[in-house]
């Protein structure tokens, strides 16, 4: 069936009909405005905003007149408006629209457990990007509770717990953050026992958590996680298949482990929530994060000789490319060379100072192992993890 495009003439007819029959015709006007806004704002989002804003006003007027049957429709329009504000880099308006959308989602839900989780997740991320981490924790905790009610076997719970751990840490509640991580680990182990096919994702997550537990000064737990990840790799086929799912998990955990090494955003600007997928970030944050890659490349070009500073830059570049990348088949070409170079560098630095703690080389090997699992080199990932474990045992 061919869907007819909404034209300006059709909008005029819908507007006149809404004047004649406001009770029954206003929903059709709002739907027409939303459809037209989508087409008008494809290339330049700001062009679609006036139509979406008018659609939102129409739905608000229906609700003000007591039209509770229109709550779902209002929620859809306001959610679309929040997205369009973000696309147009109107970030404060986008956050306000997300807050309004959540209020409508609560109103539309037959019971609290039925509230739209995506609306809550979007609001939590928006609050975190704005630096309002305590509020983000409150909203994200509600999402986690909704997933807990659904039982252990839901991957959405793992992402929700990761988000909660990130926000808790940024809110200064590091021990509560680690408890959320431990809950995620327990869920992962149970899921892998029931679904062996997800063992590669378990290995990636465990390596990623090992990086984070090391950064959080819990080396014993980090070492245990690396041993467990290495054991999982030993039970996998030597060669697997590249996976976009693996890449998303690797990027989230890899980026989170390097969050403290990234410079803070200047005052008043939004900041990326490292540990969450870039595709859930505000569009202005995506743009600034992508632009930051050029500065790292320039700094790398200026480096001469082996140094810790070079290793730090290589890692920051690998993290940023992993977050920005969306083509699993080319991951080998665009991400692996930087990680391989980092391992070679850290080996040379350690050879030059054998008494130094092996932590930097362990970190580089763990980074490399996670990426090797993404491209399906399970045997290579196992070797890297076993080398990391051996270094820790010395």
The last residue of a domain, from among 108, 133, 159: 108
Structure confidence by residue, pLDDT tens digits, 197-241: 999 999 999 999 999 999 888 999 999 999 999 999 999 999 998
Note whether residue 266 is domain-resident: yes
CB 137 within 8 A of CB 173: yes
Kindly tell me if the per-residue pLDDT of 177 is higher than 90.
Answer: yes
Query: What's residue 178's pLDDT?
Result: 94
Residues 315 and 166 in one domain: no
Q: What percent of the chain has pLDDT over 90?
A: 60
Residues 158 and 284 in one domain: no
Secondary structure of residue 376 in the 3-state scheme: coil
Note whether residue 224 is domain-resident: yes
Lowest-pLDDT range of 29-33, 49-53, 85-89, 184-188: 29-33
- Buried b / exposed e along 196-205 (16+ C-beta atoms within 10 A): eeebbbbbbb
CATH code, domain with 167:
1.25.40.10
Residues 231 and 370 in one domain: yes
Residues 62 and 43 in one domain: yes
- State the average pLDDT for the chain: 89
The last residue of a domain, from among 194, 210, 228: 194
Note whether residue 1 is domain-resident: no
Query: What's residue 1's pLDDT?
Result: 32
Note whether residue 138 is domain-resident: yes
Kindly tell me if the per-residue pLDDT of 67 is higher than 70.
Answer: no
Note whether residue 79 is domain-resident: yes
Indicate the number of domains in the chain: 3
| Band of residue 122 on the pLDDT scale cut at 50, 70, 90 | very high
Query: What's residue 69's pLDDT?
Result: 85
Kindly tell me if the per-residue pLDDT of 2 is higher than 50.
Answer: no
Residues 136 and 14 in one domain: no
Kindly tell me if the per-residue pLDDT of 75 is higher than 50.
Answer: yes
Residues 165 and 253 in one domain: no
Residues 29 and 169 in one domain: no
Query: What's residue 151's pLDDT?
Result: 64
Domain that holds residue 95: 7-108
Residues 103 and 153 in one domain: no
Among residues 37, 31, 35, which one has the least CA distance to residue 59? 31
Helix (H) or strand (E) holding 261: none
Secondary structure of residue 170 in the 3-state scheme: helix
Structure confidence by residue, pLDDT tens digits, 233-277: 999 999 998 888 899 999 999 999 988 888 777 767 889 999 888
Note whether residue 24 is domain-resident: yes
Kindly tell me if the per-residue pLDDT of 3 is higher than 70.
Answer: no
Residues 100 and 61 in one domain: yes
Residues 251 and 314 in one domain: yes
Note whether residue 2 is domain-resident: no
CA pair distance 314, 292, nearest whole angstrom = 14
Query: What's residue 96's pLDDT?
Result: 97
What's the 3-state SS for 316-332? HHHHHHHHHCCCHHHHH
Query: What's residue 359's pLDDT?
Result: 94
Residues 169 and 203 in one domain: no
- Residue whose entry in the numeric block shows the structure tokens 């051996």: 390
Q: Which tokens belong to 308? A: 């810790």
The partner residues of 239 in beta bridges, in order of sequence, read 377
The percent helix, strand, coil of the chain (3-state, each to 5) is 80, 0, 20
The last residue of a domain, from among 89, 108, 127: 108
Query: What's residue 329's pLDDT?
Result: 67
Q: Which tokens belong to 98? A: 């997300």
Instruction: Give one DSSP letter per residue of 76-137, joined into a string.
Output: HHHHHHHHHHHHTT-HHHHHHHHHHHHHHHHHH-SSGGGS-HHHHHHHHHHHHHTT-HHHHH
Note whether residue 368 is domain-resident: yes
Q: What percent of the chain has pLDDT over 70?
A: 94
Lowest-pLDDT range of 40-44, 302-306, 335-339, 380-384: 40-44
Distance of alpha carbon 216 from the chain centroid: 21
Residues 175 and 301 in one domain: no
Which phi and psi (to 5°) does residue 150 adopt? -90, -5
Structure confidence by residue, pLDDT tens digits, 279-313: 889 999 999 999 989 999 999 999 989 999 999 99
């Amino acid at each position: 069936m061919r869907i007819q495009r909404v034209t300006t003439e059709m909008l005029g007819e819908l507007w006149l009909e809404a004047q004649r029959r406001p009770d029954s015709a206003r929903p059709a006007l709002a739907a027409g405005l939303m459809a037209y806004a989508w087409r008008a704002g494809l290339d330049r989002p700001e062009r679609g905003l006036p139509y979406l804003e008018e659609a939102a006003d129409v739905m608000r007027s229906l609700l003000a007149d007591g039209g509770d049957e229109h709550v779902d429709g209002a929620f859809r329009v306001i959610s679309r408006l929040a997205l369009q504000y973000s696309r147009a880099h109107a970030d404060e308006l986008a956050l306000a629209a997300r807050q309004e959308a959540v209020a409508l989602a609560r109103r539309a839900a037959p019971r609290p457990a039925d509230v739209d989780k995506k609306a809550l997740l979007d609001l939590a991320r928006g609050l975190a990007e704005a630096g309002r981490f305590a509020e983000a924790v409150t909203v994200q905790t509600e999402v986690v509770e909704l997933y807990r009610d659904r039982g252990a076997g839901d991957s959405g719970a793992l992402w929700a717990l990761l988000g909660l751990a990130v926000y808790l840490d940024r809110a200064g509640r590091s021990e509560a953050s680690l408890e959320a991580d431990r809950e995620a680990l327990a869920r992962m182990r149970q899921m892998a026992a029931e679904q062996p096919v997800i063992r590669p994702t378990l290995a990636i997550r465990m390596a990623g958590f090992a990086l984070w537990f090391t950064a959080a000064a819990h080396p014993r737990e980090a070492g245990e996680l690396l041993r467990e990840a290495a054991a999982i790799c030993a039970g996998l086929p030597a060669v697997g298949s590249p996976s976009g799912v693996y890449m998303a998990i690797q990027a989230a955990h890899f980026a989170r482990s390097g969050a403290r090494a990234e410079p803070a955003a200047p005052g008043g600007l939004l900041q990326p929530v490292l540990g969450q997928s870039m595709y859930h970030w505000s569009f202005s944050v995506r743009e600034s994060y992508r632009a930051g890659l050029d500065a790292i490349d320039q700094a790398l070009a200026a480096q001469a000789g082996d140094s810790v500073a070079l290793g730090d830059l290589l890692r920051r570049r690998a993290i940023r490319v992993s977050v920005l990348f969306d083509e699993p088949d080319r991951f080998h070409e665009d991400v692996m060379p930087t990680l391989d170079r980092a391992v070679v560098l850290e080996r040379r630095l350690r050879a030059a100072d054998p008494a130094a703690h092996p932590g930097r080389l362990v970190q580089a090997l763990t980074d490399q192992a996670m990426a090797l699992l993404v491209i399906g080199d399970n045997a290579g990932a196992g070797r890297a993890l076993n080398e990391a474990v051996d270094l820790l045992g010395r």
